[in-house]
Structure 1
């Protein structure tokens, strides 16, 4: 009889976990994707796209599909899904593991300022007199920065914002990581960036921008990760695989 595992995915770690588990005999692996991109890359094994309808919808899905274990490998900033996963799994009596990459940690040479939300980031940019800002926050989080009416922005996103917020002046750069250090250095220099705004996502794919900012003395406004439930956790795909294997 197959054992059924659900991965709440969308991250690099989720894709790697699905690939590691999909070929195991007696294991059915389903990855759930939020559906925020029009043509998402599909993981190994089965996949489903779209939300569950909150924690109650997730609980119903777990019971209908006979899921025996869930790995929450969503983005560190997908806090709502994290809480829904905790409540839905608890209600269904299904074990839940959080797979999350470690956060970035500032080096002594870094010029980081930690903020809790984008309103604090806007205030920090205004207070610091930033004029040419690299926004690496994702296409859905640009709106608050329209309040800065004397700032030029470089906006990097995977897909175009729809609609585009009324930023005072900006250039939109469509690109998908990973990004290398040489390219990030050139980007900051070419656009004369004096401040970088980003989330503390962690991982290697987009870390080069932080190294480039350190080397060039560029100020970084770093949004802290939101609060999530306290759960059994793994910081590597290998540890998550071992957790799943222990359920079999």
Structure 2
């Protein structure tokens, strides 16, 4: 009998995991459907939510899933908690494929905050930059937290540059310029972007990975401070840091059920 594996995806790691497993197991990749034109992985794909933990548990039973890999974005905590609850109820093994977070290094000027709300509060009282005096309202902010989260900054008077795959929906800041783009990005390109828009401060989530890390290198080179939003709490489940580790887990848990 072929092993059936659900990959909760939407990330580059999830796509690479599906590529590594397809043809060896039956892979079902689940996408939340938040991006209009997602990059689809190979194998079976379903789009949309499950209806919470209870709905996911029902789906796992109906589809006779043998294992689940939570390869969602590090900030998709609601899905991670639902996966932990549902797999525990059904008795299905669960692995979190979770990329390591970014680490501050020499030359970085980071300000860590626990939430997006705290990031907005930090900007509301920003002490100034080398190019702009303290108290000046027209702080120029490069916002890379995603289109769904821009509302947290809607009441601020600053000028924002937002980069996202799809356009944001209201509420948004009054002074907002949107760049539609998808990573990976290069350091040279990020340097050009920061210089072109005279960015004073970068705001980002601690997403980790190499798809969007170039902005941090560019900020370091230009001396641009970075507000880093810490990751939310996630369930205490077995964790793989790489796709290779996740493949090994899928190969080992099933007692030889993998089709080679």
TM-score range, shorter chain: over 0.9
Q: 2:157 matched to 1:133?
A: no
Which secondary structure state, in structure 1, belongs to the residue aligned with residue 125 of structure 2? helix
Q: Which of the residues 143, 166, 169 maps onto 1:162?
A: 169
The answer to whether residue 229 in structure 2 is matched with residue 223 in structure 1 is yes
How does 1:111-122 map onto structure 2 within 5 Å? 111-122=109-120
1:174-213 to structure 2, matched below 5 A, reads 174-213=180-219
Residue 50 of structure 1 and its aligned partner are, at CA, apart by: 0.7
Q: Deviations over 1:186-227 (max 9, x none)?
A: 111111101000100001110000000011110100000000
Q: Would the aligned equivalents of 2:140 and 2:200 in 1 still touch at CA under 8 Å?
A: yes
1:152 corresponds to 2:159: yes
- Structure 1 position 128, deviation (Å): 1.8
Once the two structures are TM-superposed, the CA of residue 3 in structure 1 deviates from its matched residue by 1.1
| Equivalent residues of 2:35, 2:165 under 8 A apart | no
Aligned to 2:36: 38
SS of the residue 1:147 aligns to: coil
Q: What CA RMSD, in Å, does the superposition of the two structures yield over aligned residues? A: 1.0
Structure 1 unaligned regions, length at least 5: none
Q: Does 1:84 align with 2:43?
A: no
Deviations 1:31-73 (A, max 9, x none): 1110112232221111111111111111111111110100000
Distance 1:49 1:77 in 2: 19
Moved over 6 A (4+): none
- The number of aligned residues is 244
Deviations 1:69-98 (A, max 9, x none): 000000000000000000000000000000
Aligned to 1:60: 58
Residue 184 of structure 1 aligns to a residue whose secondary structure is: helix
Q: Give the TM-score of the pair, scaled to structure 1.
A: 0.96
**TM-score, normalised on structure 2?**
0.92
The residue number in structure 2 matching 1:142 is: 150
The offset of 1:129, in angstroms, is 4.1
> Larger deviation: 27-36 or 82-91?
27-36
Q: Secondary structure at the match of 2:106?
A: coil
Q: Distance in 2 between matches of 1:166 and 1:135?
A: 12
Q: 2:97 aligns with which of 94, 99, 104?
A: 99
- What CA distance in whole angstroms lies between the structure 1 residues aligned with 2:123 and 2:203? 9
